Amino acid sequence: MRVLVVNAGSSSLRLRLLGPDDTVERTADIGPHDIAATLADWPAPDAVGHRVVHGGTQFTEPVVVDARVRAALADLTELAPLHQPKSLAGLDTVSALLDVPAVACFDTAFHTTIPAAAATYAIPREWRERYAIRRYGFHGLSHAYCSARVGELLGRSDARVITCHLGAGASVAAVVGGRSVDTTMGFTPLEGLVMATRSGSVDPGLVLWLAERMPVDELTKALEERSGLLGLAGTADLREADAAAVEVYIHRLVQGIASMAASAGGLDALAFTGGVGENSATVRARAAERLGFLGVAVSSPLNAAGAEEITGASSVRVFVVPAREDLEIARGTRSALAMLGGT
């Protein structure tokens, strides 16, 4: 089955066509208005897999999109107002162009296995129930692929794996036996690590204090778009950030990894993925140095070369895994259609 993978971002859209054996036949990073012109020259797919950021509590697996599902996805927009509309726009545009099944694959779905103790905020019960407030977690498609790949490299399915998705957005997940048991992002993608322009976790009292001194929309925009590395160093590019900003970034990353190791009950493997995770030997080395107490060490030559395994003299194996959300989406698309007898 040939699968067209549609990954809608905040300002661009990535299309990738995967053949039946998952070879990449076509790929393009385009603007949302260039979809029709791009697809006009591509081979026709048998199905389309869409990355959808939020699946709420009802979508825990990839699902074939029909009118009912489409309406339910729209209802979730208030939980992800920055991301869900982009996903839905991509879904609608491609569905209007191609008369093939569409499958929604969710970033939140992988984390629905997180136990209640890790998913629950200590806030009034009526808030949690009325507004479906819980720690959802994000980047699930990336964490799912990365942890599965590490399991293959380890040759075991019961490993305790910490996956670090480090890009413009960043999160760490604890995966035990292929199931997510905790992650650093929560109700929104703002919680957790320092990111390119997002603040990561801040004292909620600080947010309340600031909300008394500025409009809420201004505060929201600042935390989403003018914080993180940009707020610390005046640049969202880690390679250009000053030493003090990088130190804050590393501190939060190490803190996140250590907390995920505690949630996993130990650590067998640590994996780095995403643009920063794959390309910054410095981030990997500095994180490993701080995590020596957990048995983590990297080989300097292997780390500098960006090898797939960069384990040093350590009890924990360390890997660099290229991010392939497209493969995870294609897998989910084929699985959802197979359950309906579509293959």
- 24 pairs with which residues across the strands? 18
Instruction: Please state the separation of Cα 191 from the chain's center in Å.
Output: 13
| Adjacent-strand bridge partners of 182 | 174
**Token digits of residue 282:** 């410095």
Reply yes or no on whether 158 is catalytic.
no
**CB-count exposure of residue 19 (10 Å: 0-12, 13-18, 19+):** middle
Number of Cα atoms under 13 Å in the Cβ half of residue 187:
13
CA 300 to chain centre: 27
Angstrom distance (rounded) from CA 187 to CA 93: 28
- What number of residues does the chain have? 343
Which of 34, 75, 107, 242 does the annotation list as catalytic? 107
- Residue 211's contacts (CB-CB under 8 Å, 6 or more residues apart) are 219
Burial profile 174-191: b = 16 or more Cβ within 10 angstroms, e = fewer: bbbebebbbbbbbbbbbb
Q: With beta carbons less than 8 A apart as the criterion, state whether 182 and 263 touch.
A: yes
Q: Which residues are catalytic?
A: 107
